[in-house]
Every structure is written in structure tokens, then in C-alpha cells.
Amino acid sequence: MGTRILSVEDDERIRTAVRMGLEDEGWTVDEAASGEAALEVFAERPTDVVLIDLMLPGMDGFAVCRAIRRASDVPILIVTARADTHDVVAGLEAGADDYVTKPFQPKELSARIRALLRRARPAAAGTSQLSFGDLEIVPDEGVVRRAGADIHLTKTEFRLLCELASVPGRVFSREQLLERVWGYDYFGDGRLVDVHVRRLRTKVEADPAAPRHVVTVRGLGYKLQA
């Protein structure tokens, strides 16, 4: 199996208790006592599930959640003493998949983690194809090449391209792109996606006026194709 779980929790007693419960299930547990440490661990180790406490020294749990979600689709479970509905909603909006309030039973935590794994696993299996005709995407170091030549993309442009590339040929609506590229709680101008698509096209397309890769599907959204 080799399921790795990252537990982000500043209270050492709870952290230990959580770890023992999870190890009883046969999972491997990484730990972090702060948000900053969590992001570091997450970047270094392959992680299958993340548990986050909301009350952390330094950056809070919501911020950690958003930061991780920006980089990955890993299942995130918030584990916290804050049971207020407002917090639950905020946590889920920040990209978390589940929200458990302390005190909780280890059995319930494990069951919820299993439920998340069950759903996440198949999705993680599909490794994204990263070549589209003369277009080549190299996720490490955020580089895109066309016909062998490096193209510099900004962070937003790159994320947009990666999102489109995640399911080649599939149409993504503007809402989906806003949600997945810009963040879950985005409210703003309706033209935002269009503008970035345009900027992306001027760099990626040989002839931006006649796009061959980043194609618009009127009334639906955009898609990427070879």
C-alpha cells in the first residue's frame, strides 16, 4: 500500500495520538508542527492525504489548505476544535475535502480518510499527457517548449495551461477554470479568463489569430488539443 499521510498539528499530544491511530491502520505518517513546515514536507515527500489543524502558529490552517490546493489535488481533511458552521464552510471553500471536529474518534478519522482515498486514488492514476503536437509542457520548473524553444509563461498562464492540459480535449467552462486556477473563493470580472487565455495564446500559438492548441468552444469554454 504505502499510503503516506501528512499531519499538520502544533499540539504534540494530539499529534502523537493521531499518528498512533493512523499507524494502526498501516499508514505512514509525516508530521509538521506549523504551516510553513507542512508546505516544506509536502514539497519533499509524496503525500496521499493531508490532515490540517486550523489553529496553528504563524500561517493558519486555511492558508495552508489553499497553498497546498494550489499545487496539488491531494485530499485534504481539516481536523480542528473549531466546530462553528462558518469555519466548516470556510474550510471546505478553501479546498478541503472533509472537516472533522475534535474531539473525534480515531475510528471515524480513519474511516473518513479511507473514504477520501477511495475517491482520490483513481483520479491520481491518470498522469496527464504533456505533449501536444509541437507543444511540450514540463511541470518541473514551469517551462513550456514549442518546437524545442523555451517559452516563458507567467505563473497564472502556466497554471491555466496545466489545467487545460489535465484532460486534453475536454472543454473547461470559465467557472471551472476560475475555481481551479484562481482559487475557490473567487469573485470578479467575467473577462478575466478570456484575457489570460489571450495572453497565453500570444505566447503559445504560432498564429494567435488562428489558435491550434488553445481552442475556444463558443458558449461552453476553452479546451486544449493537438
Partner DNA sequence: GGCGATCGTCACCGAACCGTCAAGGAGCGG
Partner DNA sequence: CCGCTCCTTGACGGTTCGGTGACGATCGCC
SS3 25: coil
72's contact among a copy of itself, DNA, none, with CB below 5 to 8 A by partner kind, is none
Q: Which is nearer to DNA, 13 or 218 (CB)?
A: 218
Answer left, alpha or beta for residue 163, where phi above 0 means left and psi between -120 and 50 means alpha: alpha
Task: List the one residue from 93, 134, 136, 205 that touches a copy of itself (CB under 8 A).
Answer: 93
Q: Considering only the stretches 37-45, 62-70, 91-99, 185-193, report the one whose residues sit in contact with DNA under the rule CB under 7 A.
A: 185-193
> Could you tell me the three cell numbers for 176?
471551472
Looking at the Cβ atoms of 87 and 157, the one nearer to DNA is: 157
Cβ atoms < 10 Å from Cβ of 222: 23
Residue found by looking up cell 466548516 in the block: 88
Nearest-approach distance from CB 119 to a copy of itself, in angstroms: 6
Under rule CB under 8 A, which residues in 166-185 are in contact with a copy of itself? 166-167, 169-171, 173, 179
Question: From edge to edge, which strands make up the β-sheet containing 28-32?
Answer: 28-32, 4-8, 49-52, 76-80, 98-101
Cβ–Cβ < 8 Å for 69, 95:
yes
Min CB(85)–DNA separation in Å: 27
Which residues from 64-83 bind a copy of itself, rule CB under 8 A?
Answer: 75
Under the phi-then-psi rule, with left for phi > 0, alpha for psi from -120 to 50, and beta for the rest, what region is 139? alpha
For residues 146 and 140, is the Cβ–Cβ distance under 8 A? no
Do 163 and 182 touch, CB atoms closer than 8 A? Answer: no
- 126 binding partner (options a copy of itself, DNA, none; Cβ < 5 to 8 Å by kind): a copy of itself
CB 159 within 8 A of CB 199: no
DSSP 81-114: S---HHHHHHHHHTT-SEEEESS--HHHHHHHHH
Which residues have C-beta within 8 Å of that of residue 73, sequence separation ≥ 6?
Answer: 120, 123, 124
Decide: is 208 part of the binding site for DNA (CB under 7 A).
Answer: yes
Q: Determine, following the binding rule CB under 7 A, whether residue 188 of this chain makes contact with DNA.
A: yes
Query: Which residue of 26, 123, 148, 207 would you call a contact of a copy of itself, by CB under 8 A?
Result: 123
Tell me, by CB under 8 A, how many residues bind a copy of itself. Answer: 45
Contact positions toward DNA, by CB under 7 A?
152, 154-157, 182, 188-189, 191-192, 194-199, 201, 208-209, 216, 218-221
Contact positions toward a copy of itself, by CB under 8 A?
1, 75, 85-86, 88-89, 92-93, 96-99, 105, 107-108, 110-112, 114-115, 118-120, 122-123, 125-126, 140-143, 154-155, 166-167, 169-171, 173, 179, 217-220, 223
